[in-house]
Amino acid sequence: MAPNGFGKTSIATAFKSAAEQTSIKLKDEARHGHDDTRKAKIELEVEEDGSTSNLSATEQAHSNSIRKHFDIQVVSDLRRIKSHSRNFGGFQEQKQK
């Protein structure tokens, strides 16, 4: 658990893409700040049997070395939380549904 804006959805979306494809493929709305100049990248350092391997997945075609080594399952909540806030002069009230 982490507060809103700490990247939980971004990480889950990137791993879900890495699990299913040979590269990371993201829609613009899944990008941080909807900024298509920020390219997605996952890098993992894995130690196994005394040796260290660097695995990664990027948006470049066929760049995903992670899915060759791991089975990834991403569990996500499909509900959308709706919230609204009202400003009462000096303080703000916020409600979530």
Buried b (16+ CB within 10 A) or exposed e, 65-89: ebbeeeeeeeeeeeeeeeeeeeeee
Report in angstroms the alpha-carbon separations of 83 from 14, 80, 95: 25, 10, 6
Confidence (pTM): 0.60
Q: Tell me, what's the pLDDT at 96?
A: 55
What is the mean pLDDT, run by run of 10 residues, along the chain of 97 residues? 75 81 83 80 92 92 87 70 64 57
Query: Where exactly are the structural domains of the chain?
Result: 1-73
With a CB cutoff of 8 Å and minimum separation 6, the contacts of 90 are none
At 95 the pLDDT is 58
